[in-house]
Amino acid sequence: MRRIVLVAALLAAGCSTQTAPKSHEVTLVTHDSFAVKQEVLDEFQRTSGITVKQLASGDAGELTNKLVLTKGNPIGDLAFGVDSTFASRALQEGVFAEYASPEADKGAQRYKADDTGKLHAVDVGDVCVNIDTGALAGNEPKSYEDLLDPKYKDKLVVENPATSSPGLAFLLGTIAKFGENGWQEYWTKLKANGVKVVSGWEEAYTQEFSGSSGKGPRPVVVSYASSPSAEEGRTKALLDTCYRQVEYAGVLQGAKNAEDARKVLDFLLGEKFQAQVAEQMYVYPSREGVALPESWAKAAPLPEKPQQLAPDKVRDGRERWVEQWRTLVQG
């Protein structure tokens, strides 16, 4: 699902000739999958007088690590793409500054990470098991438990939770489902049933999964609830295997241009940006009342009851769980 966007830095038309252009430049640090319609960005830059420079910094985990490591001398003014699996770490490390966006009460608050106001939910992208409906016609799994059935031996590919955001989300989903006393037994059985682990989503979905363009050998993959919207009926998400993943944006502590960064954050939560989130990034907008593409109603509905863990529980358990998973699965 992940789309790669070139760094864009376009000078806004109509900027005051009395102000040096650099004074209204905002560096937006993002994960590699950030995307926005150029005309939407152009309009914002033109009307605000702000130049937005996008700096892609890997996936959600890599982005969070870079923000933490550079917090004393931030590499940008605001960041987008720290998700709910890493938000607690970024908050604990003091990466973000407090800011109450006037756009947040239009829906983003539903998904808030905590009460500090440092992070604002921009989109939701639940991680779910996806299946190749053609390859499994009449024999489709529906639940976590079904994946343990011998008839699905050597059919599932997952991402490594130590290196992949969806891989970590799937691990957290199994912990939420089976509890701290049951998830390791579940993974032991998955391993015995031939689960394959790869480094990231790109490899899993486009190379190993049979339902994607790569036509790989495995008909079951960990991906996103929205992935089937791009597959023309060839795949579907198992909505009983989903873990809620929210992507956040926030102004960076120590930003050189915090004032304009706050305006860019308002833009990310605003109606025009939110209206193109689904089409551009294959995720669900956080803003209430934003229409999804017509095809999503059947192919990619937002899961109603995804698995979730409290941010503080993820913060306290993440590293320990990943280490336990490594020992158990990779041995």
pLDDT band at 19 (very low <50, low <70, confident <90, very high): very low
Looking at the structure, tell me whether residues 183 and 323 fall in a common domain. Answer: yes
Task: Check pLDDT > 90 for residue 7.
Answer: no
Q: What 3-state DSSP class applies to 168? A: helix
Residue 99 lies inside a defined structural domain of this protein: yes
Is residue 67 within 8 A of residue 74, CB to CB? The reply is yes
pLDDT of residue 160: 95
Task: Check pLDDT > 60 for residue 8.
Answer: no
Question: How many structural domains compose the chain?
Answer: 2
Residue 42 lies inside a defined structural domain of this protein: yes
Residue 218 lies inside a defined structural domain of this protein: yes
Residue 15 lies inside a defined structural domain of this protein: no
Looking at the structure, tell me whether residues 136 and 225 fall in a common domain. Answer: yes
Looking at the structure, tell me whether residues 155 and 226 fall in a common domain. Answer: yes
Looking at the structure, tell me whether residues 267 and 318 fall in a common domain. Answer: no
Looking at the structure, tell me whether residues 99 and 133 fall in a common domain. Answer: no
Looking at the structure, tell me whether residues 56 and 145 fall in a common domain. Answer: no
pLDDT band at 23 (very low <50, low <70, confident <90, very high): confident
pLDDT of residue 163: 84
Q: Tell me what the mean pLDDT of segment 289-298 comes to.
A: 90
Looking at the structure, tell me whether residues 137 and 201 fall in a common domain. Answer: yes
Residue 73 lies inside a defined structural domain of this protein: yes
Residue 237 lies inside a defined structural domain of this protein: yes
Looking at the structure, tell me whether residues 197 and 315 fall in a common domain. Answer: yes
Q: What pLDDT digit, counting tens, does each position of 211-270 carry?
A: 998 899 999 999 999 999 999 999 999 999 999 999 999 999 999 999 999 999 999 999
CA distance 247 to 286: 9
Which ranges of 270-310 does DSSP label H, i.e. alpha helix?
Answer: 271-275, 277-281, 296-299
Q: What 3-state DSSP class applies to 194? A: coil
Looking at the structure, tell me whether residues 309 and 324 fall in a common domain. Answer: yes
Sign of the Cα torsion 59, 174, 90, 290 reads positive
Looking at the structure, tell me whether residues 310 and 226 fall in a common domain. Answer: yes
Is residue 172 within 8 A of residue 178, CB to CB? The reply is no
More reliable by pLDDT, 251 or 115: 251
pLDDT of residue 22: 57
Contacts with 305 (C-beta within 8 Å, 6 or more apart), sequence order: none
pLDDT of residue 59: 83
Task: Check pLDDT > 50 for residue 3.
Answer: no
Residue-range definition of the domain harbouring residue 51: 21-125+245-299
pLDDT over 70 percentage in the chain: 93
Residue 9 lies inside a defined structural domain of this protein: no
Q: What pLDDT digit, counting tens, does each position of 89-104 carry?
A: 899 999 999 999 999 9
Q: Tell me what the mean pLDDT of segment 143-152 comes to.
A: 98
Which ranges of the chain does DSSP label H, i.e. alpha helix?
Answer: 38-48, 60-69, 87-92, 165-178, 183-192, 201-203, 258-269, 271-275, 277-281, 296-299, 311-325
Q: Which two tokens stand for residue 328?
A: 């158990």
Q: Which two tokens stand for residue 240?
A: 């009983």
Is residue 115 within 8 A of residue 220, CB to CB? The reply is no
